[in-house]
Amino acid sequence: MIDKLLFWKKKKEISGDLLEEVQKHPVPRHIAIIMDGNGRWAKKRAMPRIAGHHEGTKVVQRITRIADKLGVEVLTLYAFSTENWKRPQGEVDYLMKLPEQMFSTFLPELIEKNVRVQTIGNFDKLPSHTQRAVQKAMDDTKHNTGLILNFALNYGSRDEMVQAVRKIAEECKENQLDANDINEETIASHLMTNKIEDPDLLIRTSGEIRISNFMLWQIAYSELWFTNVLWPDFTEEHLVQAIYDFQHRGRRFGGI
């Protein structure tokens, strides 16, 4: 049992009791996070919105470290939705540069810590420089067996479902699949998350109480945890609190 949790690099300690408490119980195997509030964080400081995204990227790294330390198996982060293309071009361009920026320093650490980078979303529609940076991170970590750090990039749940239905229809047309045999497993296996268990815990920051087209199928039985904290202010302690709350809810999956 780890008495005190040391972060990989900063050697900072999370203060005690709650952390010790969550380590006594199973942690959620898959945590998904809607990282929201970067723009408002920047606005409050009279800074450009991209300053919020810059700060938010640091939080991505801190939350990855603590999730890994706690033994979370999958961390899915909603980094760019299919709707985010509607933002001003300058902001989109900045967001598309973030993977390169982040992985230039973070990737060696991920490799060392046995973290595997994956993505869900329409990868091919990302700018080529973004694809290159993310592909390199995926390639360089593909044999890692620890935490899966799964970025939802150009991801939308309805779009994912449309693609899944098309594939299933195609397989029926080609007589590879009988329509009567389509079940939940068929659908799940045609989604972009097909090799990943559903999230146990979904977190959304910034006070918005909605799902915004994120993993609609996969969160059918997830525990939902909302906080007013803006993503750039989200700390390791907030994650530990969310996990603590998760551990104290009764998950019945429709049973009694």
Site of interaction with ligand FPP (CB under 6 A): 35-40, 53, 56-57, 60, 79, 84, 95, 98-99, 102, 151, 206, 231
One-character DSSP codes across 126-188? S-HHHHHHHHHHHHHTTT--S-EEEEEEEE-HHHHHHHHHHHHHHHHHTTSS-GGG--HHHHH
Q: Which of 3, 17, 36, 150 is catalytic?
A: 36
Identify which of residues 118 and 206 has a Cβ nearer to ligand FPP in the complex. 206
- Considering the complex, what minimum distance in angstroms separates the CB of residue 226 from ligand FPP? 14
**HSE-CB for 176 with a 13 A CA cutoff:** 7
Instruction: Report the binding-site residues.
Output: 36-41, 49, 53, 81-83, 85, 87, 204, 210-212, 223
Active-site residue, 154 included: no
- Considering the complex, what minimum distance in angstroms separates the CB of residue 166 from ligand FPP? 27
How far apart CA 103 and CA 94 sit, in angstroms, is 15
3-class secondary-structure state, position 238: helix
Residue nearest to ligand FPP according to CB distances in the complex: 39
Instruction: Report the binding-site residues for Mg(2+).
Output: 36, 223
Q: Which of 3, 17, 68, 84 is catalytic?
A: 84
Active-site residue, 200 included: no
Sort 229 into a burial class: Cβ within 10 Å, 0-12 / 13-18 / 19+: middle
- Considering the complex, what minimum distance in angstroms separates the CB of residue 56 from ligand FPP? 3
- For 72-147, list the strands marked E by DSSP: 74-81, 116-120
Identify which of residues 57 and 218 has a Cβ nearer to ligand FPP in the complex. 57
Identify which of residues 78 and 246 has a Cβ nearer to ligand FPP in the complex. 78
Identify which of residues 88 and 255 has a Cβ nearer to ligand FPP in the complex. 88
Handedness of CA 122, 31, 234, 140 (dihedral sign): negative
- Considering the complex, what minimum distance in angstroms separates the CB of residue 102 from ligand FPP? 4
Q: Which residues contact 210 (CB under 8 A, 6 or more apart)?
A: 204
Identify which of residues 193 and 205 has a Cβ nearer to ligand FPP in the complex. 205
Instruction: Report the binding-site residues for substrate.
Output: 37-41, 49, 53, 81-83, 85, 87, 204, 210-212
3-class secondary-structure state, position 31: strand
Best CA proximity match to 113, nearest among 150, 64, 41, 183: 64
How far apart CA 180 and CA 130 sit, in angstroms, is 41
Please give the positions annotated as active site. 36, 84
